[in-house]
């Protein structure tokens, strides 16, 4: 019987055929915690009487949310995590290494694996056909202590993509259009499985933008097949041996089908205060923007920096607008410097932060003032998300963000993007 990607991967994990709705107990290939919630997971482990990490080689710690630490009490918690890493002999990615989800894509995630992370955007791993999903501190503690987790096999929404993206339109615009259609709760505990001819045109970086935002629709995961694009990404990161083909199966049962013609899309923006409050750029042109943030696990990869640098090179940020750029990993930062993207952005007036979640989390490095409008490439624009309940956050692609920095208002990147080689990135 044809299976969805969720059914296929979880069937392989438990050694028998499973279908949507079944409850399974599965071995976990990778479990990780981050500095914002990791200390609680270790304390929960102790409260449960779980004294040892079951599989130290599969357990990873990330310092990415509050880094560099802005407050003494957060520094103490980070020091506690370093102690736990030493005690249990765990791999630790420390300050400046990058965002957990990006590092999973670069170094840790494998097609067909199961990843549990103490962060809701663990679903980003679906870009590599990895069943990655976020859980709370207690559930993650159980995974660390036992190496296993329980799951209900999710129902799936087929997201059928067709058509080539026009110049100035990017994967983020597909994600926002999908958010508009499905709505913030329309995919609760479901897998969004991306199919159709456009999928083969999307790089793993672009797929990561779409998989990342599955949770904004309530989704458990956003899934792409493990195809030539996945093989290429793994090869580029020195991990080609981890690749194996996992394809979607014609005839699999989906709870819903959403079809998007990418060729007809235009740049999209999510307006305050929900990610599904989506409108086209043309409807919002002229909206003033005071701060621009290009970063986060959604859109701070190398191709995202390339798009922004392509718009800003030789130009300068509007004097009334602040531009903050924070790459998603140390590798992205180094590659961006090697290719000149970082230099172009800094020359244009950007402030550069260390690889991390940055201001998305709302703790430091760019908290807006009362009444200010922010254009960000992140995934969430809830009230107070960036640290101030009296500010307003808009979400857009790196191209829309770069244009806002240039013009101090929401503007259409198609006004300056004439190079067709930039189409389809980000």
382-420 pLDDT, tens digit per residue, is 999 999 999 999 999 999 999 999 999 999 999 887 554
322-354 pLDDT, tens digit per residue, is 999 999 999 999 999 999 999 999 999 999 999
241-286 pLDDT, tens digit per residue, is 999 999 989 999 999 999 999 999 999 999 999 999 999 999 999 9
Reported pTM: 0.95
45-76 pLDDT, tens digit per residue, is 999 999 999 999 999 999 999 999 999 999 99
pLDDT value at 426 more than 70: no
Cα end-to-end distance, the chain, whole Å: 36
The DSSP symbol for 121 reads G
Closest CA to 299 of 168, 426, 403: 426
Please report which helix (H) or strand (E) contains residue 352, including its range: strand 351-352
Q: Which residues of 69-92 are buried (b: 16+ CB within 10 A; e: fewer)?
A: beeeebeebbeebeebbeebebee
CA distances from residue 156 to 9, 167, 188, 246 in whole angstroms, order as listed = 13, 31, 10, 16
182-213 pLDDT, tens digit per residue, is 999 999 999 999 999 999 999 999 999 999 99
Whether residue 173 contacts residue 265, with contact meaning beta carbons closer than 8 Å, is answered with yes
**383 token code pair:** 């009230």
Domains and CATH numbers, the chain: 5-261 (3.30.499.10), 269-422 (3.30.499.10)
């Amino acid at each position: 019987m044809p299976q969805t990607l969720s059914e296929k991967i979880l069937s392989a994990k438990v050694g028998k055929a499973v279908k949507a709705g079944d409850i399974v107990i599965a071995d976990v290939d990778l479990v990780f915690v981050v500095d914002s919630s990791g200390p609680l997971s270790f304390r929960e482990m102790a409260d449960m009487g779980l004294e040892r990490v079951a599989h130290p080689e599969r357990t990873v710690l990330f310092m990415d949310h509050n880094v560099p630490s802005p407050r003494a009490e957060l520094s103490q918690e980070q020091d506690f995590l370093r102690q736990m890493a030493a005690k249990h002999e765990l791999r630790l990615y420390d300050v400046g290494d990058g965002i957990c989800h990006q590092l999973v894509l670069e170094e840790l995630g494998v097609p067909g694996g199961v990843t549990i992370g103490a962060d809701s955007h663990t679903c980003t791993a679906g870009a590599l056909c990895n069943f990655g999903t976020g859980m709370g501190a207690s559930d993650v503690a159980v995974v660390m202590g036992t190496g296993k987790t329980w799951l209900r096999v999710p129902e799936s929404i087929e997201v059928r993509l067709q058509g080539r993206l026009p110049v100035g339109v990017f994967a983020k615009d597909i994600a926002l259009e999908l958010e508009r259609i499905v709505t913030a709760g329309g995919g609760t505990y479901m897998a969004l499985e991306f199919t159709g001819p456009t999928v083969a045109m999307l790089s793993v970086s672009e797929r990561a933008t779409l998989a990342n935002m599955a949770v904004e629709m309530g989704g458990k995961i956003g899934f792409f097949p493990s195809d030539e694009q996945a093989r290429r990404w793994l090869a580029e990161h020195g991990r080609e041996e981890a690749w194996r083909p996992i394809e979607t199966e014609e005839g699999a049962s989906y709870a819903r089908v959403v079809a998007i013609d990418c060729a007809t899309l235009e740049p999209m923006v999510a307006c305050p205060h929900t990610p599904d409050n989506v409108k086209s750029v043309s409807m919002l042109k002229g909206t003033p923007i005071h701060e621009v943030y290009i970063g986060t696990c959604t859109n701070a990869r190398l191709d995202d920096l390339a798009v922004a640098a392509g718009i800003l090179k030789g130009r300068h940020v509007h004097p009334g607008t602040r531009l903050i750029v924070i790459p998603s990993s140390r590798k992205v930062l180094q590659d961006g410097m090697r290719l000149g993207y970082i230099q172009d952005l800094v020359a244009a007036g950007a402030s550069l932060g260390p690889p991390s979640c940055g201001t998305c989390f709302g703790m430091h490095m760019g908290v807006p003032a009362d009444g200010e409008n922010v254009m960000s490439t992140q995934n969430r624009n809830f009230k107070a998300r960036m640290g101030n309940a009296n500010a307003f956050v808009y979400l857009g692609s790196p191209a829309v963000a770069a244009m806002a920095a240039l013009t101090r208002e929401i503007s259409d990147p198609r006004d300056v993007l004439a190079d067709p080689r930039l189409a389809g990135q980000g």
